[in-house]
Structures are given as structure tokens and as C-alpha cells.
Structure 1
């Protein structure tokens, strides 16, 4: 299939408010996990997550009307602003029917939902008239469309932790089919609310210590918030304007377990990876780096390890693998986009970021988990996202042979 150009991307997360600061956190092993500041509490439990400490003062002004947009939409806008600047696009490039917007989010306007329910049930307060526009799942995609006049397909993807990976894959499809010249794709999530944190705790999947993907002592995940947005363009559209080439998206695969809504099935994850490889026309031996979904939960990591071993066979012990959630937290619907950004950065630098907290793998895992930064021997990477509901999605990306300047340590 036809490769699709990535001409720019942007990130906002607790681990860095732009590409460069995010890259430094990845390679220097700076975790953004800390105590969560909540607007109100329920009970006496203190939560830890990767929470963005402070948004730029211009964020509300960028959105137009501060109370009209939920936090997840503002994060998407900030990431898109960086992506568009990096792609060297102007208003005229975007304001047309050939530009589409696809943004994934597992929950959407979680802050608006939590605030409105608290106001109604606890404070007996009339809901804000703008509550629905804030909380709707397509609010972020609609905001980006409005901000830059994008009049093509505008779509929200909600498939839990695979949301933004599927958004990116579908964006590739729009360009390949000729339905768009360029697409703003990615994901955004801001669900660190009192009710959401209590609900995750009730599932008993949050770590009581540290997130340790693929480690024998792993005991759960740590949540986060953030957004990442990519500019995808057809080769023709990018070439016409002399666009910078950051990377190529080569393949996308998705598959459903059609089984348990929570317990992952290794066969479904393996099917998504096989589909991405087939789409890219590649064999497993041509993959130089894997960014794993790697939540740090016992079931997810075991299922992903089994799936990777099924796909790669004996090669699995030689492909450098990173799991970056201990740095930026599990950003749910935004995780696929943020981790694709981490994959691109890793390939650009020729280094697989160390998996923070990794110590000793279980005896039956044959993965080459990067305990510290380790070299990558080529330009092609695989990024995985596996979600509740049995949704699995994988992307394959390649950087140009000449890497960008290295990140200073």
C-alpha cells in the first residue's frame, strides 16, 4: 500500500509540553507521575498519576471561550498548534474541503461530565448550558476543524485505549483513498477526575507502588493525561508545497478479540500486528523497534508478550522494546498517538528509550525490554495499542535515513 507522509507532530503531556521536552523525559528517564491535585475529594485516598501541572496562559484564549471547551479539547488544540507549525502549514493550506480531522478519545469531556454531575447531585445547581458541547466525544475534533477551517471529514473515534491509533489508521485510509490531501489525526484525554480515579481504583488495576511494564514485580498501571496530533499528507500534497518529511506511516492493522470486554486475548493482538505488517508489505525481521502497549498490569503484559512472541518468533529477543507509560502515564484514548510520537522520536535518535522501573522479567518472557536506552539498528518501528472491549490496533512507521539532530542529555 501507499506510504503516507507525516510532516509535523505536536505533543502536550505531563512529561513535556512540546516535542523536545517530551523527548528529554523519554531518554533521561524523568517520570511525570506525582500526586494528583483534585478540585474536590471523595473519601480520603490520595491518587498518583501523570497530571499536567499547568497549561499555558494562552490556552483558554486559543480555544475562543474558556468555558465552552473541556480540558481534553484544549489539550488537542495545543498539540495541533505545534504540529501545524512544525509542518509549516498556513491557514490557506488547511481551510478547505480537502483537509480532514480525526481525533480519538476514550472518554471525551470527562471534566465537564464530573463537574455537571457534582453540581446537579451535590450542589443542586442548574447545569451550565454549554455542558453538552464540552462533554461530547467529538468536541476536540470539532474545535480543530473550526479553528483552522478544515471542511473535510471531521470524526471522533472512541475505542478506549486504541482510540487514537485507530484515528491515525483511518486518517491514513482517507489519504490513500484520495478522499483527503491532508488530515489532522491523533488523540486527547483528560480524565483525572475524582469519580474516574475512584472508578479505576475500584477495578484494582492501579499500581500501589510504581508502574513496571513487563517486570516480574509489576502490579498495575498509572494514569496520565495529554494529547498528540500529527499532520498526515499525501506524497503529492506534501511535495507540492515542499513540506518537511518527519516520517512515513507504512502500515495499519486492527482486529477485535470478540471476547471478554476486559481480559485481553493474545490472538487478537497478534492479528493486529500481522495486519499492520501485511499492510506495510513487511516481514517481522524488518521491524527495528517496538513501542509496546505495556500497561504494567499482569494480564495485559502477559498477553502482549505472548502476542509479540507469536508474531516475531525467535526474533523477539533481538528487537529493542520500550514501554513508555511509566514516564507519561497511561493516557487512555490518547496513548496510541503519544506513543507513536515516542516511536518516531526513538527512531530519529536511533535509541529505544529505557523502560523506567523495569528490573527482572518473568522467566517465560523472551522480550528484549530496554532497561536503559539501547541502540536501534534501523529506521522502522511498530507501535501497539490494545484496549478494553477487545480492540487491538498497530501502526508501522519509518523515519528518513538521515535522522534529526540528537537530543542533548
Structure 2
């Protein structure tokens, strides 16, 4: 795979507040349906996957101590595996996994720490729950459940996790470390995530959750490509000028892909809220405002999914390809509160959705 070769998205799946699986996500995104916070699970804060629990979705075996972050990822990959198996194939030998997160399961970490403080002895904790406190728990469990034998990587990058994971997956393929790569990000809604977001001065959006996973294959082996990944660019904003930092990424990505603003038919911004969100929208308006592409604001529809935001943005532009056949390029942008900015360009293949 040459240094300039980019991967192909051959399949994808999502677990989101619209439900479990790709079909529910496609229907929700195309309808532009916003999900109300607390509508399905009053005991959980934010916008959550309706009726989701590890035991109900994955079965009793191996799920007694599984946290929600891990269960979302295992379920999303399971949905993708089922779709592939229906066509006579699942995941080939050596398939890699690159999974984005913020910190893993915040709820698991806080609960385990609390138990060590309130139990009669600090070591009177449930040892079965200790793996949930480790950041790469979800990726490791996904590999075990779905027998993924290739490189297994966790990328912790907040809202920028998904695009960072996409970039890392591309490098795995270019270096010859893997042919097929599962790439995505996962985040749970939980009481402790809500508290920490509030303490940190969280943005104006409702908290959400979910997981989306793409199957990336090299162009010469992708059996059914849906979209070509044209370019990925990431940068850092040191001085608070998100607009300029993101604009630089956008122009570099377009130069890498050899496209014009008029080629972009759909845009999915990350909307981090407050000033960064306004600057993100301004950078996009500077680039494509006069061309009027469709805009998919996943955060308004299904809440702020943290690390999974970018993965759900990627899934959204795959679920709703541009209507104009002359503008088949989709643009996804991200801005994280820590100053990381980035973008990805994908081109839909004709007749694929």
C-alpha cells in the first residue's frame, strides 16, 4: 500500500440513541429526528440507547461485570459482523481494531475507586470489575468477543478520538501491519460522566452516548466499497483561534484530496458548544457557505456523545449521502475542548449508501 493510498469504507454499523444497528441509525438521520433526553431511560442522564443493557443485547454469558462503554462497542462490532456473515464473510484473519475513547468507562473508574474507600477494607472490591477501570478494556473485550487477531489499539482523544483513530488505522494499513481495520469510537452516558462534565464547565449540549464502527479495507481488496477516504488532517489550536486552526486543516485536506469546495455535498460538524462551536461553524462557512451543502448536526439530534461524536458523524454522512451526484464528497470536522481540531473527507461511491 503506497504512502498516498487511502482506505475504503466497505461496511459500517452504529449503536445510538436511535437504537441498535445500522437500520435504526439510517432512518433517524435521514428523518432528521431529534431524540429527547431521558425519553427511553429515565434512570440514566442524557440521551441514551433505548433499552440497552449488556445482558439484554449480548446475552448472559460473559456480561455480568461488563460496563456500558464496552457493551456498546461489542454490540456495534457484533452488528457489523452479523451483516458481513450474511454475505458469507465476517472478519478475516489479522483484522485490526482501533477504538477511540475519552478515558474508558468513567462510571466504572469512579465506582471502583469509591468501593476502595467505603468498604471495610480497601481491598474488599470486586476484582471482576477492575478490568473496566482500564482505558483499553473495551478494545480488548471486542477482540476477545469477535476473535480479532490483528493489532489492537485504543486512542484516547476526547471528541477528536474518531478522526485520530481513522488516521491511525490508515497508518496501520500503509505500514503493512493490517489489511482490514475496524475503526470507531465509543462513549457511555452515566451519572458520573454527567457530574464530571458539569464540574468541568461542560458545553450547552445534552450528553449522549453510542458507538459507531467502520470497516476499512485497501482499495484493491475491498469487496464492496461504500466510500473512499480521501484525506484526514489533524492540528492543534494553541491560542484559542479555532477558526484559523481548523481552516488550515481544511485547506490542507482539500489539497491532499485534490477537490474543490463545490465538490462537497454534505458537512457534519462536531459542535462542541460555546465559542469553539461558533468558530467551527465560521470556518465551515468560510469554506463552503456559498455552495450550500447539506448539514448534519448529530449533536443536536442525539446529544454530545463525547469520544463517539466523530464516529457518529462519520456514520451520519455515510447514512445520508449527498443528493447531488456532482457533489459526492462528505466533510466531517471536529473540535475538542483541549484544542485538537481536525477534518476528514470521504467520497461516496455511486449507488452506495
TM-score scaled by length of structure 1: 0.77
- Relative distance call for 1:226 and 1:264 in structure 2 (3 A) is farther
Q: Secondary structure, in 3 states, of the residue corresponding to 1:8? A: strand
**Counterpart check, 1:344 vs 2:344:** no
Deviations 1:379-407 (A, max 9, x none): 11001111122111211112111244xxx
Could you tell me which residue of structure 1 aligns to residue 260 of structure 2?
283
3-state SS of paired residue (1:330): coil
CA apart distance, 1:187: 0.5
**Structure 2 Cα separation of the partners of residues 53 and 399 of structure 1:** 30
Out of 71-80 and 245-254, give the one that drifted further.
245-254
**Residue of 140, 143, 152 corresponding to 1:142:** 140
Answering whether residue 52 of structure 2 is matched by residue 75 of structure 1, we say no
Q: Aligned partners of 1:24, 1:91: CA distance in 2, in Å?
A: 26
Aligned to 1:299: 275
Structure 2 residue runs of 5 or longer lacking an equivalent are: none
Please name the residue that 2:297 is paired with.
Answer: 323
- Are the equivalent residues in 2 in contact too, given 1:264–1:390 (CA < 8 A)? no
Q: CA RMSD in A?
A: 2.6
**What does residue 219 of structure 2 align with?**
235
TM, length-normalised to structure 2 = 0.88
Establish whether residue 386 from structure 1 lines up as the match of residue 330 from structure 2: no
Report the count of equivalent residues: 345
8 Å contact from structure 1 (residues 161, 386) kept in 2: yes
Q: 1:102 aligns with which of 98, 105, 110?
A: 98
- What is the alpha-carbon distance in structure 1 between the residues aligned to residue 131 and residue 200 of structure 2? 29
Structure 2: distance between partners of 1:293 and 1:387: 9
Does the 8 Å contact 1:8/1:85 carry over to 2? Answer: no
1:189-268 → structure 2 map (5 Å cutoff): 189-190=187-188, 192-206=189-203, 220-238=204-222, 243-259=223-239, 265-268=242-245
Deviation string, structure 1 residues 116-156 (Cα, Å, up to 9, x no partner) = 13333445572221333112121121122222332322110
C-alpha contact 2:226 2:352 (8 A) present in aligned 1: no
Q: CA deviation at 1:90?
A: 9.0
Name the residue aligned to 1:177: 175
Distance in 2 (alpha carbons) for counterparts of 1:88 and 1:245: 16
Q: 1:9: how far off?
A: 0.7
Structure 1: state its 5+ residue gaps: 40-46, 207-219, 352-374, 405-409
